[in-house]
Amino acid sequence: MIKPVIICVDDELFVLTSLEEQLKYQFGEQYKIETTSSGEEALRIFKHYQKDRIEIPLVIADQVMPGIQGDELLIEIHTIAPDTLTILLTGLASAEAVGNAVNFANLYRFIAKPWYRQDLLLTVKEALAHYFQERKLKAQELELRRMNERLEEKVNKRTAEVLRQKTELQDTLENLKLTQSKLSESEKMASLGLLTAGIAHEINNPVNYIYAGIDSLKEDLKDVLDVIKGYEKITAQNVNEALKKVKSLKETVAFDELIIEVDELTTSIKRGAERTAEIVKGLRIFSHLDEDVLETVDIHENMETTLIILRSQYKDRIQIVKSYAELPKIECYPNKLNQVFMNILVNAIQSITDEGVIYITTLLSGFKTPQMVSIEIRDTGQGISDEIRAKIFDPFFTTKDVGQGIGLGLSISFSIIEKHRGSIAVKTNQGEGTAFTINIPLNIRDLKNAK
């Protein structure tokens, strides 16, 4: 192993030899002791070791020498190797030289000549300990700095990564919003499709009623007319005979029953016509799905229309039990609200696999301000498990088969009710049924102004 070097410089041979002897005795095992009698030579030796990267912890120099002086030498050494410690030996207490060395040469101590052997050895020992302590500290500092840099680098990398993820998330969210609104549009289209199919189906029945009714009515009226004609033929001369004929005609056509049948037929034709009119009205409400204007409407009417449209999906198996409160007209986006009723009702209908009941209840909360209207749609369907309940308002969450549902109904309904500054809540028991309660303000504009 290469030993670190201590360089000693003194022009007095006796002093130099005794310095070397004392240092070698004490430190010779761990250090190489180099001696020289001139400052110039000392500098050369120093640079030689430095070039070979051999450590030089200490230089001990006499102050007064021919050529380069001790303080000058130590200052020079300090500029080329700031870590090396220096000790100045001085016969005359030269204050200026010591001051120079202290200020510019990292002077560790100065030792007055002649010195006590123990003093010298202790000073050198301390200087060496100090040097290695400093070096250790520096190495630790360097390691710490390096670790810091590495940490900083890691933090920077992580921050950049987090930022990148954030942007990516934001982009995804934007995309999702866009998709959702697009899908919301297509959902409207779907309800329009559903609507058309429902209307076609529903309108078919009453129109058949009217058709069939009119044909029978026409035949019945022909018989009635025949009887009337019989009466018209009666004159003073043939009264008895003609009356007999009319009577027998009346018997043939079962006149009394005929009159009842005519009455029944007109009633049923009227019912058919009314039903058709109702459906047409529904069509009118649903035909402006894109309109987004606040209107004051009777929401029961909206509910009824929605029920008509969905009738083919529930009639014969699901009973609809309504309990409507006396409600004033409500300010809302009617087409959007229709969509909410439709989505919740469709879910309710789909949740009842066989037969069941859907209860529709409306209430007005009269005490609170703002006044709220509550609409509850409760079904006796299969209910929702706790695990699923947490997700039902999430876009695209569905438990239905492909083609049956895309999982947007409730998420769209949620945004619509939010737009109305209302709330939507669900209560459910698995196996027993589900109740959705919508609360919306009676007058959304008041609420907007108040905010």
What contacts 24+ positions apart, CB below 8 Å, involve 399-404? Answer: 400/350, 404/350
CA distance 201 to 80: 102
Q: Which helix (H) or strand (E) holds 322?
A: strand 318-323
Q: Hey, how many other C-beta atoms are within 10 angstroms of the C-beta on 433?
A: 22
* Contact partners, residue 220, CB within 8 Å, separation at least 6: 258, 261, 262, 265
CB of 434 to ligand ATP, least distance (A): 4
CB of 174 to Mg ion, least distance (A): 25
CA distance 334 to 394: 24
- Our finding on whether 411 is near Mg ion (CB under 5 A) is no
388 interacts with, out of ligand ATP, Mg ion, none, CB within 5 to 8 A per kind: ligand ATP
Choose between 250 and 336: whose C-beta lies nearer to ligand ATP.
Answer: 336
* Span of 44-52, 302-310, 340-348, 415-423 interacting with Mg ion by CB under 5 A: 340-348
Among 347, 380, 413, 428, binds Mg ion (CB under 5 A): 347
Instruction: Compare residues 302 and 411 and give the one whose CB is closer to ligand ATP.
Output: 411
Give the Cβ contact number of residue 451 at 10 Å.
Answer: 6
Minimum separation from the CB atom of position 349 to ligand ATP (A): 9
Q: What is the residue whose two structure tokens read 């894109």?
A: 290
439: partner contacted, choices ligand ATP, Mg ion, none (Cβ within 5-8 A by kind): none
d(CA 379, CA 387) in angstroms, rounded, equals 20
The closest alpha carbon to 438, from 359, 320, 341, belongs to 341
Which lies closer to ligand ATP via its Cβ, residue 236 or residue 402?
402
Q: How far is the CB of 399 from ligand ATP (least distance, A)?
A: 3
339 lies in the binding site for Mg ion (CB under 5 A): no
Q: Which residue is nearest to Mg ion (CB)?
A: 409
Q: Residue 16's closest CA among 34, 40, 1, 31?
A: 34
Task: State the binding partner of 379 from Mg ion, ligand ATP, none, CB within 5 to 8 A by kind.
Answer: ligand ATP
Q: How far is the CB of 328 from ligand ATP (least distance, A)?
A: 28
Q: State the minimum distance, in angstroms, from the CB of residue 412 to Mg ion.
A: 9
**CB under 5 A: which stretch of 47-55, 82-90, 250-258, 345-353 binds Mg ion?**
345-353
In whole angstroms, how close is the CB of 387 to ligand ATP at the nearest point?
A: 11
Sheet holding 433-441, edge to edge: 318-323, 356-365, 372-379, 433-441, 423-429
Pick between residue 4 and residue 405 the one whose CB is nearest to Mg ion.
405
> Looking up tokens 């209860």, which residue turns up?
359
Q: Which among Mg ion, ligand ATP, none contacts residue 205 (Cβ within 5 to 8 A by kind)?
A: none
Q: Which does 184 bind (CB under 5 to 8 A by kind): ligand ATP, Mg ion, none?
A: none
State which residue, 409 or 422, has the beta carbon closest to Mg ion.
Answer: 409
Smaller CB separation from ligand ATP, 190 or 227: 190
Residue 254 backbone class (left: φ over 0; alpha: ψ -120 to 50; beta: rest): left
Return the number of the residue (267 or 399) whose C-beta is nearest ligand ATP. 399
Angle at 48 between CA 45 and CA 54, to 5 degrees: 105
Select the residue interacting with Mg ion from 70, 213, 381, 409 (CB under 5 A): 409
Tell me which residues touch ligand ATP (CB under 6 A): 343, 347-348, 351, 379, 381-382, 384, 388, 392, 397-400, 405-411, 434
- Taking the least distance from each CB to ligand ATP, the nearer of 50 and 374 is 374
Q: Which of 375, 206, 383, 382 is nearest to 277 (CA)?
A: 206
Asked if residue 121 lies in contact with residue 169, where contact means CB atoms within 8 angstroms, the answer is: no
> Minimum distance between the CB of residue 377 and ligand ATP, rounded to whole angstroms?
8
Partner from Mg ion, ligand ATP, none contacting 90, C-beta within 5 to 8 A by type: none
**280 or 425: whose CB is closer to ligand ATP?**
425
* The residue count for the chain: 451
Q: Which element (helix H / strand E) includes 8?
A: strand 5-9
SS (H, E, C) 51-118: HCCCCCCEEEEECCCCCCCHHHHHHHHHHHCCCCEEEEEECCCCHHHHHHHHHHCCEEEEEECCCCHH
Closer residue to Mg ion, CB minimum distance, 230 or 407 = 407
Instruction: Enumerate binding residues for Mg ion (CB under 5 A).
Output: 347, 409
